[in-house]
Amino acid sequence: MIAVFDIGDTLVPSRKFAEHIIEDELRQRNHEPVHNFDPDKFMMYDPDQIQKYLEKYDIEGDAEKLAQDCRDRYLEAFEDLMIENDVFDLFAKCNREFGTIGIVSDNSLRAKELMKNLLEKLGVDYDTITVSDEVGVEKPDPEIFQAFIDKREEAESFVYFGNDASRDSGAKKAGMEFVWVRQFDTVNSSYEGLKIDELNFENIESVIGEIE
C-alpha cells in the first residue's frame, strides 16, 4: 500500500510551535507577560478562537493579525522543522518501499506550494498534494480524499496517516485505510483502529504489513 500523509502535527510538532509564536507576538507587542496559550482549548490559526483567548485573559491584541502572523512564521520555519524530524528521509524511504507518497491536508495553496518546492528542492518524489483550499471542503468530508484519489488510482491502494482521528479518519469513507499517528498533538481525539506512537519507517512498514 502507498503511504499518504497529513501535514501539521502528523509530521512535526506544529501546534506547539504555533503556541509559542502567539505568546511571543503578544509579549513583543504588549511588553508584558501573557497567559499561556493552550492549543487544546484554542485553535491557533482561527481568529475567532484567538479572540476568545484574548478576551478570556483580558489581553490586548488583533486576532486576525495574530492568526496570519502565526501561519507566516510557521511556514518560514517549516523546512527546518521537517529536516529536524527527518521527514524528507522518511518520505524517500516510503517511496522506495511502497510507491510514491501523496499528501492530503486542510491547508492553504501557499502551504501546498511550499511543500512542493521543498520536495523538489531536496529531490524527494511525490505524486499529488491535495489541500482544502483548492477543494473547498475540509476533513472529515470524504470529498477532499476523493479529490486526491481521482488524480491517482484506486482508493484501496492508499493508507492515510494523520494525527486528528476525528477528522483524518474521514479517509475511510473514501475507501482508504487510516492510521492514527500519536507522536505529537492529537487534538484530543481517540481511535479504536490502527495506530502508531511514532512516525518512523519501521512503524509504517509494520502497520502496512498488518493491513496487507
The model carries a pTM of: 0.84
Interatomic CA distance for residues 170 and 166, integer angstroms: 8
Residue range 61-66: average pLDDT?
A: 88
**DSSP per residue over 122-164, as a string?**
TT-----EEEHHHHS--TT-HHHHHHHHHTSS-GGGEEEEES-
**Secondary structure (3-state) at 195:** strand
Interatomic CA distance for residues 9 and 160, integer angstroms: 14
- 166-198 per-position pLDDT tens digit: 999 999 999 999 999 999 988 878 999 999 999
Q: What is the mean pLDDT of the chain?
A: 90
Query: In the structure, what pLDDT confidence band is assigned to residue 141 with cuts at 50, 70 and 90?
Result: very high
Spatial CB neighbours of 101, under 8 Å, sequence gap ≥ 6: 2, 3, 4, 5, 91, 94, 95, 125, 126, 127
- 14-60 per-position pLDDT tens digit: 777 767 777 787 888 777 777 877 766 666 667 888 899 899 989 88
Residue range 62-72: average pLDDT?
A: 84
- 73-105 per-position pLDDT tens digit: 877 888 898 999 999 999 999 999 999 999 999
> What pLDDT score does 126 carry?
97
Contact between residue 179 and residue 199 where contact means Cβ atoms under 8 Å apart: no
